[in-house]
């Protein structure tokens, strides 16, 4: 069946910071990745593309407020390392940070500066240029390849955000690939916007299948804001196929956009899955069924997270150890929902989430 959309792949710009006074890599016992939708972070320079509330000429958005938001984003990220529920031993900033809803590269660089120490020296940012907000990545590890994959809109929903594919060189454990996502929101309706999310999932499924055929042992992570929960198909009462599907729901109706990503809460399922049949990935949300990363229309949702391929639980190189959701009190309102930025204070309507890996030395 011919899909109703076109995939484009564009080699994105890659920048590397000064490396003269710092070692390229160090020996680690763990690697930490944080994903955080910061909720519309704009700089204090007016380009005309901003949302109206973030235009300095309107008088409600200033350099001081921008600086405060940068500080709050860093505070939220760092709250994960000090949280009682965190399994991290890092005591420093994450090794890789995946942000959603950044205006531009300047915002990404300013975040790196606020994080300090010159530790996160590698970066990547998604397209398309026409988009108002973007995905941005900061990394301690060298980035060796970047692709910003575009999904052409076939549904009249407007510009769809790219999927950012980034390959990292992680020292003794070798290469790792991350697909950083910010899928279409449900603003125009849940069912009405699902095709755009299915299209993004199909793109990633095709890329994962190709990568695993070419390099069967490469670790692959899909992360970001999916704008749907891992059990979305059940949450919509099986009314229509979703971008992320549960492997044990039987045979759902086929979608014209292509195959979904299958999210399993069982590590055994991802090890036994037939890669030629479906792309089954592990969702660590299965370990925290009562937690959430977003309160959407009075529902507690698990929109933000990670999906892992089998190579991250095979006892070789990078080994999955844990998944954590930020729970610092300052991130929540009195009603117990994420404390989003409103006017002059707050954080985001999403919570940052963290993935922790153990490093098995001498595995490769």
Q: What digits encode the pLDDT tens for the residues 254-285? A: 788 889 999 999 887 786 666 667 899 999 99
Q: Do 205 and 260 form a contact (C-beta atoms < 8 A)?
A: yes
CATH number, domain with residue 151: 3.60.10.10
Identify whether 20 is part of a domain: no
Q: For residue 260, count other CB atoms closer than 10 A to its CB.
A: 25
Joined tokens for residue 17: 């910071």
Dist. CA 129–CA 110, nearest whole Å = 19
Long-range contacts of 326-333 (CB under 8 A, 24+ apart): 326/76, 326/79, 326/80, 326/83, 326/351, 326/352, 326/353, 326/354, 327/83, 327/84, 327/85, 327/351, 328/76, 328/79, 328/82, 328/83, 330/75, 330/79, 331/76, 331/79
Distance, in Å, from the CA atom of 364 to the CA atom of 172, rounded to the nearest integer, reads 7
Instruction: With respect to residue 364, please indicate whether it lies within any of the assigned structural domains.
Output: no
Question: Around 13, how many Cα atoms within 13 Å sit in the side-chain half-sphere?
Answer: 7
Q: Does 19 map to a domain?
A: no
Q: Please count the helices (runs of H) and the strands (runs of E) in the chain.
A: 5, 18
How far apart CA 122 and CA 112 sit, in angstroms, is 10
In angstroms, the CA 228 to CA 189 distance is 12
* pLDDT per position as a tens digit, 302-353: 999 999 999 998 888 999 999 999 999 999 999 999 999 998 999 999 999 9
Q: pLDDT for 74-86, tens place per residue? A: 999 999 986 555 5
Phi (first) and psi of residue 346, to 5 degrees = 115, -175
Rounded CA gap, 245 and 252, in Å? 9
Query: Is residue 265 a contact partner of residue 286, using CB atoms and an 8 Å limit?
Result: yes
Instruction: Write out the residue range of the structural domain in which residue 179 sits.
Output: 7-14+27-359
Tell me, yes or no, whether 89 lies in a domain.
yes
**Low-confidence residues of the chain: pLDDT under 70:** 1-28, 82-91, 251, 271-276, 362-364
Q: How far apart are CA 116 and CA 323, in angstroms?
A: 25
Say how many Å lie between the first and final Cα of the chain, rounded.
41
Q: Total domain count for the chain?
A: 1
In contact, 316 and 364? CB cutoff 8 Å: yes
Tell me the pLDDT of the chain averaged across its residues.
Answer: 87
Tell me the two tokens of residue 107. 């915002």
Residue 92 lies in a domain: yes
**What are the backbone dihedrals phi and psi of residue 41, each rounded to the nearest 5 degrees, phi first?**
-100, 110
Angle of helix 105-115 relative to helix 63-82, nearest 10 degrees, comes to 50
Distance in angstroms (rounded) separating the CA atoms of residues 234 and 230: 9
Is 21 a domain residue? no
| Structural domain includes residue 22 | no
Tell me how far the alpha carbon of residue 159 is from its chain's centroid.
Answer: 19
**In this predicted structure, what is the pLDDT of residue 363?**
47
Contact 311, 218 (CB under 8 A): yes
């Amino acid at each position: 069946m011919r899909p109703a959309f076109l995939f484009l792949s564009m080699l994105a710009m890659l920048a590397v910071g000064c490396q003269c006074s710092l070692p390229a890599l160090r020996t680690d016992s763990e690697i930490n990745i944080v994903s955080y939708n910061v909720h519309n972070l704009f700089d204090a320079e007016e380009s005309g593309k901003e949302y109206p509330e973030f235009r300095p000429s309107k008088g409600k958005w200033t350099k001081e407020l921008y600086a405060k938001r940068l500080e709050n984003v860093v505070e939220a990220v760092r709250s994960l390392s000090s949280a009682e529920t965190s399994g991290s031993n890092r005591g420093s900033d994450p090794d890789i940070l995946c942000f959603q809803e950044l205006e531009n590269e300047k915002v990404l660089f300013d975040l790196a500066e606020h994080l300090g120490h010159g530790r996160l020296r590698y970066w990547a940012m998604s397209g398309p240029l026409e988009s108002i907000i973007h995905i941005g990545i900061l990394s301690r590890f060298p980035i060796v390849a970047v692709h910003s994959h575009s999904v052409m809109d076939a549904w009249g929903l407007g510009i769809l955000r790219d999927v950012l594919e980034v390959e990292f060189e992680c020292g003794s454990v070798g290469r790792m690939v991350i697909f950083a996502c910010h899928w279409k929101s449900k603003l125009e309706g849940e069912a009405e916007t699902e095709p755009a999310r299915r299209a993004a999932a199909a793109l990633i499924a095709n890329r994962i299948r190709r990568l695993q055929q070419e390099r069967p042992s490469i670790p692959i992570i899909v992360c970001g804001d999916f704008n749907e929960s891992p059990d979305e198909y059940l949450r919509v009462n099986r009314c229509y196929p979703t971008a992320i599907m549960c492997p044990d729901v039987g045979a759902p109706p086929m979608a014209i956009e292509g195959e979904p990503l299958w999210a399993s809460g069982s590590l055994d399922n991802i090890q036994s899955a037939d890669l030629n049949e479906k792309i089954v990935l592990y969702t660590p949300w299965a370990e925290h069924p009562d937690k959430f990363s977003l309160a959407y229309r009075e529902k507690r949702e698990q929109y933000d997270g990670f999906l892992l391929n089998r190579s991250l639980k095979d006892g070789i190189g990078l080994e999955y150890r844990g998944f954590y959701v930020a729970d610092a009190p300052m991130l929540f309102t009195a009603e117990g929902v994420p404390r989003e930025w409103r006017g002059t204070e707050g954080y985001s309507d999403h919570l940052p989430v963290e993935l922790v890996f153990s490093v098995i030395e001498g595995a490769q």
